[in-house]
């Protein structure tokens, strides 16, 4: 096993130990809620901006097709929606995870367990 893999496993085991040791109390979950809410809003804004830039480069159009625009084929609409959903999901997961890790560093409790 390489040193990088050992370091990653060490951090993972350390994170699990923090979560098992402290667990997530109801107070930690409640205290994290506003952070999670703000994170979701930020993720929506960031992913929307990223999607617009990606769509401009991929399709050479300023706006992505919506489901009710008849001038676009079904395939284009579904591809645009799938790409937008994937970008949003990845952005939200990254922001949620960063928020949870920051919360854990501040409080010693993992908010989601």
4-35, pLDDT tens digit by residue?
Answer: 555 455 555 555 554 455 555 788 888 888 88
Residues with Cβ within 8 Å of residue 36, at least 6 apart in sequence: 96, 99, 111
pLDDT on residue 26: 81
Cβ(66)–Cβ(99) below 8 Å:
no
- The confidence score (pLDDT) of residue 8 equals 52
Q: Are 90 and 19 in contact (CB under 8 A)?
A: no
pLDDT score, position 11:
57
What's CA 29's distance to the chain center, in Å?
Answer: 18
User: Which of the residues in the chain have pLDDT under 70?
Assistant: 1-24
């Amino acid at each position: 096993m390489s040193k990088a893999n050992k370091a990653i496993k060490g951090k993972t085991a350390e994170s699990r130990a923090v979560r098992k040791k402290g667990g997530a109390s109801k107070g930690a979950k409640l205290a994290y809620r506003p952070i999670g809410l703000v994170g979701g809003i930020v993720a929506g804004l960031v992913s929307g901006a990223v999607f617009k830039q990606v769509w401009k480069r991929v399709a050479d159009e300023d706006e992505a097709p919506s489901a009710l625009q008849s001038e676009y084929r079904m395939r284009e609409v579904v591809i645009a929606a799938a790409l937008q959903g994937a970008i949003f999901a990845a952005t939200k997961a990254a922001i949620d995870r960063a928020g949870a890790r920051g919360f854990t560093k501040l409080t010693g409790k993992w908010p989601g367990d």
